[in-house]
Amino acid sequence: MFDRFRGILKGTGPREAAPKVAEAALAPAVALFDDSSVETGGASARAPDVVKDNIDHGGHFRALARNDEEAARLCIDALAASRHKKVVVYGGDEVSGYLWGDSLLQVMTIIKNGETLGAFPVFRAGVPRPARVTEIIECQNGYEGQLQVYMEGSVLTFFDTLYFRNKGGYYPGKDVRAIVAGIAYVLARGHAQARSEDDLLVRYEGGDVDDYVFRGTVQGVTDFAVDGWKARAIKTTIKAGPDGKPMDFFICVTPHAMYEKVAPGDRVNGIVWLQGFVLP
């Protein structure tokens, strides 16, 4: 899917070092886990509603890499340098999540019995919100998945970065606290005359169930660095549907997705990968 935006994203230029800033002032960072404990995963409360093919995260890694070869090297380096690990034992299977990075954008690698199942970027900025699980979508590898939830008056679907840890406890109707944010595939300035009530997050028909078209107003910007790249966390307010309630929403933007500088009050629009996780 990301190839559709090659013309917009080409020519990113060399990497530049960027100073670290006080990220929490604008984009609150929530730790997925910060220890190396071992947990026992219970039997699933119910079977997933949908089982789908495994997700190709190549397009998602374009937030951090210019091409597939660079993304592959990043995955290898991230696994080798991971400082945090969460192990969940399911019967005779040991599933581990390795987390790399100390900024708002990290990399998660999922390994089962020594075999790598997948790796993906994780944007961990956001505010926990009450949600109700309405559908469980599981990948064929059994340890990656997407959740459909009812949140703030509307339904949305996000990639669950901690599915490998929490999958056994999900069932439709379960009340949870979830953090949901976006990683931009592409973002651009919009029309200034648009109204704040036009701020919406709607499903992108050309993508997966967790790909969304976004438009909104910038409320603030936090600069940070990841793997030598300058990146930005943009704070906005959106509604996940015409009947939804407004909620704070954070988008991770790298030079691959947007070259222009933005400031509070600017209108932006684009396509984002919706991801998040459920708090214990």
All residue ranges of the chain with pLDDT < 50 are 1-25
CA distances from 229 to 72, 130, 163, 184, 225 (A): 17, 33, 28, 15, 6
CA–CA separation, 97 and 99 (whole Å): 6
No. of helices (H) and no. of strands (E), the chain = 3, 16
How confident is the model at residue 36, as a pLDDT?
76
How confident is the model at residue 196, as a pLDDT?
56
Q: Using an 8 Å Cβ cutoff, are 250 and 25 in contact?
A: no
How confident is the model at residue 2, as a pLDDT?
36
**3-class secondary-structure state, position 107:** strand
DSSP state of 62: G
Nearest to 266 by CA among 201, 186, 199: 199
How confident is the model at residue 194, as a pLDDT?
59
How confident is the model at residue 228, as a pLDDT?
78
Q: Using an 8 Å Cβ cutoff, are 48 and 139 in contact?
A: no
How confident is the model at residue 34, as a pLDDT?
74
CA–CA separation, 138 and 166 (whole Å): 12
The answer to pTM > 0.85 is yes
